[in-house]
Amino acid sequence: MCNKLLKMLAVAVRLSTAVLCTHIERSCIISGGFDGYTYLIDPHTSVVISRRKFHRGSILSIAVDDKYIVSVGEDSMLVVSDRRQTEAAYRLPVSDQVTSNS
C-alpha cells in the first residue's frame, strides 16, 4: 500500500527525484528525496507547497510533529526545521552508525 502511494505521489506531483521517506497528513504530505530536498505537498491538488534543501545527500528518514520536521541524511546531519520557516532551526552531526544502511 505504501509503495503504491509513493508511486502515485511521484507521478501526480512529477518530482524530479526518488522519494525515500514520507509523512502523510490530511493537509500535507512531507517527503524526503534522493536529491536532499524536503518537499511539502498539498495532497488535494498535488502541488508542491515548498521545497527545502537542508542536506548534501539523500534524506534517509523524516519525523514530523505539529511544529517541526526532523530529517536525517546521508551527509550524517540531523536537521530540525520549523514547518513554517524556510531555514533550518538546528543542524546536528550524527554518528555514521545512525545513517548506515548496513
Domain annotation for the chain: domains and CATH numbers: 2-99 (2.40.128.630)
pLDDT at residue 12 greater than cutoff 70: no
pLDDT class of 102 with cuts at 50, 70, 90? very low
The torsion angles phi and psi of 32, rounded to 5 degrees, stand at -110, 135
pLDDT class of 1 with cuts at 50, 70, 90? very low
> Could you tell me the three cell numbers for 90?
538546528
Report the distance separating Cα 83 and Cα 76, nearest Å. Answer: 21
> 10 Å Cβ neighbour count for 83?
14
> Could you tell me the three cell numbers for 20?
525515500
Report the distance separating Cα 30 and Cα 101, nearest Å. Answer: 22
Is residue 94 within 8 Å of residue 77, measured between CB atoms?
yes
pLDDT at residue 10 greater than cutoff 70: no
Question: What pTM does this model have?
Answer: 0.75
Tens-place pLDDT, residues 56-99: 999 999 999 999 999 999 999 999 998 887 777 788 888 765 55
